[in-house]
Structures are given as C-alpha cells and as structure tokens.
C-alpha cells in the first residue's frame, strides 16, 4: 500500500516525498583521503577527531541508501550548503514509482511531486512551504513528524553522535569508493547523547537537539552506528540503524565531496503552487 498524507486543497505527498522530508536533515560530515586513519589513535579519539572536523564543513554532497520508518526502501543523492543555507535532494522510494526532488532555498522548502501532483495543481508540479506558513503547513502535512522541521539543520551534526557511545571499537580497515578508511562501530542511546551534548557552544547544542528530536519522532531510543573515517580524519561513510517500533531505520550515507560550491535555485514561479496561499484560500472558503 502506498502511504500518503493529504494537505489543504486535496494535495497528497506520497512515498518518496515522505522519505525526502525525513532525509532533508542528512547525516554526517565527510572528506576524501588517500590513506586510512592512523592505527595509533584509539577508537574514541578517532571518532572525536572526526566529529570535531565536521564542524568546519561548509558544504557537502552525499549518496544515501537504506530504509526509513514509513517510507520503506529509499535511495538518492543530495547536496547542501550551510552558508548560505541551501539544499537539493533527488530520491526514490519503494512506496512511490516516481522520483521526488526537494529543494531548500533560504527559508522556503520546495517539493516536486511530479506528474501526479501536476494533475491536482493545474499542471504545476512544485509545492512551496514558505517560512511564514511553515508551522501551519507542517501541521497540515504532518511534516514535522517527517522531519520537515529539521530541514535546515547542518547535516554534519550526527557525525558527533558516536562520541556519546561507551562501547566504540575498531572493526578494521576497508576501502570505500576507492578511499582507504578505518571502520568504527558503537551503540548509543538518546539519553546518553543528551548527556554528552551538555558540552559545546549553544549553537552546536541546539543543532544536536533538533537531530535527537527527529529520531525520537521516528520512535528510536537507541542507535547502532558505524563510521568509516579516512586518512584526513573525516567521515567518508556513515551508517545508523535502530528498531523504532514504526519500522526499521537502517540508513547508509556515503560522502562524495565537501567544501565545494553548491548552488540551489528556487523552481520557476510558473511551475510552483504556494501552499500558504492555498491554505488561505481554503480557509476563506470555509
């Protein structure tokens, strides 16, 4: 069965659209490197150093593959710039036959529903959630539970999560997309993450808290995490999985590059329906 949510005016966001909203937050920091991480470094120190390096990332591109609660199997690619904030993601889901694209430009989130959405929107395939109406729109879409509220967070944030684990261990050395890496693994509860989050500046703590809330809404309270760290002490690949009670969470993200220019443009206005205006029209009509 295809899952969907209905918004004002009869619009529905289905399958990959739900997953795209969930994944808009992304995952971890990244880098390229030619040699595996130093064997002299302890597992905890290696993970902490990679987490620290993620704070300097200003943009990144990544590939995703796995399963998300409520969305089934998903895969796609994304690019994100932190300053200025912009994001573009294209992905597919087992619950939807059509690929979905989302873009975050400034304070506006755009969702391309493809041909099916165009049939319900006078030939327009893009839907816009502007900042002024995002709160009400998110309620109508149930988008907050799908991660829309976290769409503007730094996707490098979750690379710091494994630092809260008490059982980090080295698995071995592996080659990921031609890059030699060292593989680490550990488990961490959300309670342990919150305790570890008390250190650091206010902005960093707020980003981490938003990410934790995302996982709480999925139904996860404990994460098993894998990190593949390259010779430059950055995360090349990251995997997290959990039994959420709402379906399996098992997502792997591989980073293609970082700190390279990322440009994202808003869709043409002629192809876009403004959800805020649609909601106003619906309210005025009772």
pLDDT at 35: 52
pTM of the prediction? 0.77
Tell me the average pLDDT across 244-251: 85
Whether the per-residue pLDDT at 183 is higher than 50: the answer is yes
Element (H, E) at 81: strand 72-81
Q: Report the DSSP pairing between strands 222-230 and 72-81.
A: unpaired
CA distance 265 to 282: 29
Question: What is the per-residue pLDDT for 140?
Answer: 43
For 124, the token pair is: 């327009």
Within its chain, how far is the Cα of 118 from the centroid? 26
Q: Say how far apart CA 223 and CA 240 lie, in whole Å.
A: 6
Report the range out of 178-182, 202-206, 247-251 with the highest average pLDDT: 178-182
Using an 8 Å Cβ cutoff, are 124 and 114 in contact?
Answer: no
Q: Is residue 137 over pLDDT 50? A: no
Four-residue CA torsion sign, 245, 246, 250, 255: negative
Average pLDDT, the chain: 77
Domain positions in the chain are 4-284
**What is the per-residue pLDDT across 11-67, written as a single tens digit (0 to 9) for each?**
555 555 555 555 554 333 344 444 555 556 899 999 999 988 888 888 999 999 998
Angle between helices 275-284 and 134-141 (to 10 degrees): 80
What pLDDT, on a 0 to 100 scale, did the predictor assign at position 65? 92
Q: Say which residue, 50 or 278, is predicted with more confidence.
A: 50
Q: State percent of the chain over pLDDT 70.
A: 74
Backbone region of residue 47 per phi and psi (left: phi > 0; alpha: psi in -120 to 50; beta: other values) = alpha
Specify the pLDDT at position 267.
94
Share of the chain above pLDDT 90, in %: 28
In the CATH hierarchy, which top-level class contains the domain 4-284? mainly beta
Average pLDDT over residues 220-240: 92
Q: What is the pLDDT of residue 171?
A: 96
């Amino acid at each position: 069965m295809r899952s969907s949510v209905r918004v004002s005016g009869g619009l529905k966001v289905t399958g990959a659209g739900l997953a795209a909203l969930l994944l808009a937050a992304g995952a971890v920091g990244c880098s390229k490197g030619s040699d595996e991480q130093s064997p002299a470094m302890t597992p905890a120190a290696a993970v902490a150093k990679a987490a620290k390096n993620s704070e300097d990332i200003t943009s990144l591109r990544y590939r995703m593959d796995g399963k998300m609660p409520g969305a089934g199997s998903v895969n796609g690619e994304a690019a994100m710039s932190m300053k200025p904030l912009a994001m573009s993601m294209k992905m597919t889901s087992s619950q939807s036959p059509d690929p979905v694209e989302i873009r975050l430009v400034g304070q506006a989130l755009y969702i391309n529903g493809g041909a099916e959405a165009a049939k319900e929107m006078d030939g327009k395939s893009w839907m816009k959630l502007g900042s002024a109406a995002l709160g009400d729109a998110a309620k109508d879409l149930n988008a907050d539970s799908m991660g829309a509220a976290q769409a503007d967070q730094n996707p490098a944030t979750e690379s710091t999560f494994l630092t809260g684990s008490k059982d980090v261990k080295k698995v071995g050395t592996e080659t990921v997309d031609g890059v030699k890496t060292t593989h680490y693994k550990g488990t961490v509860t959300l309670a342990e993450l919150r305790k570890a989050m008390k250190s650091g500046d206010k902005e960093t703590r707020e980003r981490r808290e938003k990410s934790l809330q995302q996982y709480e809404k999925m139904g996860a309270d404990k994460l098993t995490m894998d990190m593949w760290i390259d010779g430059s002490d950055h995360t090349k690949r990251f995997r997290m999985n959990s039994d959420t009670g709402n379906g399996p969470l098992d997502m792997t993200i591989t980073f293609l590059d970082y700190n390279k220019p990322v440009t994202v443009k808003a869709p043409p206005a002629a192809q876009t329906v403004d959800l805020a205006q649609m909601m106003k029209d619906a309210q005025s009509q009772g």
